[in-house]
Amino acid sequence: MCTLTWRPPSYDGGIPVTHYIVERKDVTYPNWITINSYCKDCSFTVQGLTEGQEYLFRIMAVNDNGQGPPLTGINPIKAKAPYDPPSPPGIPKVTEVGGDFVHLEWDRPEKDGGSRIKGYWIEKREIGSNIWTMVNQFICLPTQISVPNLIEDRQYEFRVFAENDAGMSQPSSNSTSVRIKDPNAATPPEIITPLRNVMAIQHKSAHLTCQIAGKPKPNISWFKGMRELCNSAKYSMTRDGDIHTLTVHDVYGEDEDEYMCRAQNPGGIRSTKAEISIKLAPKINVPPRFRDTAYFDKGVNAVIKIPFIGNPRPRITWMLDGETIESGSHYAVETQQRHAILTIRDVTNLDTANYRLTAENELGSDSAIIKIQISDRPDPPRFPKVESIMGKECVLSWQVPAWDGGANINNYIIEKRELPMESWIKCANTRLTTAQIKGLSPGHQYQFRVYAENVYGRSDPSVGTNVAGTPAPTTKKPKKKQYEVDETGKKIRGRKESVDDYDRFVFDVYSKYVPQPVDIKHDSVYEYYDILEEIGTGAFGVVHRCRERKTGNIFAAKFIPVASAMEKELIRKEIDIMNHLHHPKLINLHDAFEDDDEMVLIFEFLSGGELFERITAEGYTMSEAEVINYMRQICEAVKHMHEKNIIHLGEYVHLTDF
> Which positions make up the binding site for ATP?
558
Task: Establish whether the linkage from the previous residue to 218 is cis, with ω within 30° of 0.
Answer: no
Check if the beta carbon of residue 208 is closer than 8 Å to that of residue 276. yes
Q: For residues 46-55, b (16+ Cβ closer than 10 Å) or e, as one string?
A: beebeeeebb
Three-state DSSP at 656 gives coil
Instruction: Outline where DSSP puts E strands in 187-321.
Output: 187-193, 198-201, 206-215, 219-224, 227-228, 235-240, 243-248, 257-265, 268-284, 294-297, 302-311, 315-320
Contacts of 221-230 with C-beta under 8 Å, sequence gap 24+, read 221/261, 221/262, 221/264, 222/246, 222/259, 222/260, 222/261, 222/262, 223/259, 223/260, 223/261, 223/262, 224/257, 224/258, 224/259, 225/257, 225/258
By the 8 A CB rule, do 381 and 451 touch? yes
C-alpha span between 273 and 281 (Å, rounded): 26
CA angle 200, 206, 211 (to 5 degrees): 125
How far from 578 is each of 22, 379, 562, CA to CA, in Å? Answer: 41, 30, 19
Could you give the 3-state DSSP secondary structure of residue 604?
Answer: strand
DSSP string, 560-596: EE--SHHHHHHHHHHHHHHTT---TTSPPEEEEEE-S
Q: Radius of gyration of the chain from Cα atoms?
A: 43
Please enumerate, by residue number, every residue annotated as part of a binding site.
Answer: 558
With beta carbons less than 8 A apart as the criterion, state whether 237 and 246 touch.
Answer: yes
Task: Please name the amino acid found at residue 296.
Answer: F
